[in-house]
């Protein structure tokens, strides 16, 4: 009889487990459309890009009609192409100059300067900074094109004061696009650091001040360690965003003069759509994934607690 009761109990437990699994599957069923869309529009293009980088896919000709598998040929060509080496260098300079140094530090500085200020002043400064961020990228690009061009506003102001101007987009193209990207993207870092600084306990700052720590010492030893997680998050997000900047550079300089401002997104576009070499262009695009991963690894290693 005891054996019969144990068998019945086992059957009951299995039935309950089946019902629990069925209920779990039903509970997750509403997520199915979102997962399908995620696979189609995110994972699908990534897989296609990786596959295409190993083919001679093109927009015209035989490569468009029947792409052939070429193995590592695109990557051998990529690493022997001086324009790609130049593009990697320019991309790193663009990210360091406009994101890591420019947007990150300027956003932190604005957030620190606004602490303790009146609500009106903070609102005015926030509105001015955010207004550049909410503009479409192509509009921002045309604004800076009009400002820095040969007949632009900057040269007109310089001429008014008796100074000679120049075509800044031709003489200093990378500096021009870096400044434009800083102007456009600083608002995001400012908002991140505003939120992070609001969570810093005031009693910790007061205790450090009573111990004789100066403002710079409190910033370095107290404030920055407390917002370390926000710094890492902000750096990762603005780095990934800056790595993908295309419209701003293409409208302002089109990667020129020559290849003087042809970062990897611009070079990828030129190879894939201007020269119709889709396979080679997607191979270049994979470099952006690698560079983004390298930057993320550095941020996590350098800024992790105890580093």
Per residue in 13-70, pLDDT tens?
665 566 656 555 566 677 778 778 877 887 888 888 889 999 999 988 888 888 899 9
Structure confidence at residue 201 (pLDDT): 81
**Spatial distance between the Cα atoms of 236 and 186, rounded to a whole number of angstroms:** 14
Give the burial string for 139-153 (b: 16+ CB within 10 Å, else e).
Answer: ebbebbbebbbeebe
Structure confidence at residue 11 (pLDDT): 55
Beta bridge partners of 55: 69
Asked if residues 243 and 292 have their Cβ atoms less than 8 Å apart, the reply is yes
Between helices 278-303 and 228-243, what is the axis angle to 10°?
170
**Spatial distance between the Cα atoms of 175 and 144, rounded to a whole number of angstroms:** 12
Give me the helices (H) in the chain, please: 2-28, 32-38, 44-52, 62-65, 73-79, 82-95, 104-114, 119-134, 137-148, 153-160, 168-171, 173-198, 202-210, 215-218, 224-226, 228-243, 247-252, 264-269, 278-303
Give the chain's radius of gyration (CA, Å): 27
Asked if residues 226 and 144 have their Cβ atoms less than 8 Å apart, the reply is no
Domain boundaries of the chain, sorted by first residue:
2-52, 74-303
pLDDT over 70 for what percent of the chain?
Answer: 88
Structure confidence at residue 13 (pLDDT): 61
SS3 55: strand
Measured in degrees and rounded to the nearest 5, phi and psi for residue 246 equal -125, -50
DSSP classification of residue 135? S
Tell whether the model's pLDDT for residue 100 goes beyond 90. yes
- The model carries a pTM of 0.84
**Angstrom distances, CA of residue 5 to CA of 1, 18, 41:** 6, 20, 53
Four-residue CA torsion sign, 217, 220, 225, 227: positive
Asked if residues 124 and 235 have their Cβ atoms less than 8 Å apart, the reply is no
Average pLDDT of the residues in 183-201 = 91
Homologous superfamily in CATH for domain 74-303: MetI-like (1.10.3720.10)
Listing DSSP states for 186-236 in one string gives HHHHHHHHHHHHHTS-HHHHHHHHHTT--HHHHIIIIIHHHTHHHHHHHHH
Q: How confident is the model at residue 245 (pLDDT cuts 50, 70, 90)?
A: very high
Q: How confident is the model at residue 7 (pLDDT cuts 50, 70, 90)?
A: low
Residues in the chain: 307
Structure confidence at residue 10 (pLDDT): 58
């Amino acid at each position: 009889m005891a054996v019969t009761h144990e068998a019945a109990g086992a059957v009951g437990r299995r039935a309950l487990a089946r019902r629990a699994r069925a209920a779990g599957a039903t509970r997750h069923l509403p997520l199915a459309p979102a997962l399908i869309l995620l696979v189609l529009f995110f994972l699908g293009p990534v897989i296609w890009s990786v596959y295409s980088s190993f083919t001679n896919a093109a927009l015209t000709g035989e490569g468009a009609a029947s792409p052939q598998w070429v193995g590592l040929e695109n990557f051998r060509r990529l690493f022997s192409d001086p324009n790609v080496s130049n593009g990697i260098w320019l991309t790193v300079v663009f990210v360091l100059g406009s994101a890591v140094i420019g947007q990150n530090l300027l956003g932190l500085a604005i957030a620190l300067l606004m602490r303790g200020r009146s609500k009106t002043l903070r609102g005015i400064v926030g509105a001015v900074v955010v207004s550049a961020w909410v503009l479409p990228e192509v509009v921002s690009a045309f604004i800076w094109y009009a400002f820095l061009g040969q007949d632009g506003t900057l040269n007109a102001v310089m001429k008014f004061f008796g100074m000679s101007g120049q075509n800044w987009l031709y003489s200093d193209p990378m500096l021009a696009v870096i400044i434009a990207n800083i102007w456009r993207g600083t608002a995001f870092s400012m908002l991140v650091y505003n939120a992070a600084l609001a969570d810093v306990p005031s009693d910790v700052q007061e205790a450090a001040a009573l111990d004789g720590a100066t403002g710079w010492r409190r910033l370095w030893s107290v404030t920055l360690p407390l917002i370390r997680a926000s710094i890492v998050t902000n750096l990762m997000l603005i780095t990934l965003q800056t790595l993908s900047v295309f419209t701003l550079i293409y409208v302002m300089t089109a990667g020129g003069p020559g290849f003087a401002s042809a970062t990897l997104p611009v070079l990828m576009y030129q190879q894939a759509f201007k020269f119709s070499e889709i396979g080679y262009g997607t191979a270049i695009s994979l470099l952006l994934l690698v560079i983004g991963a390298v930057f993320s690894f550095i941020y996590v290693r350098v800024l992790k607690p105890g580093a």
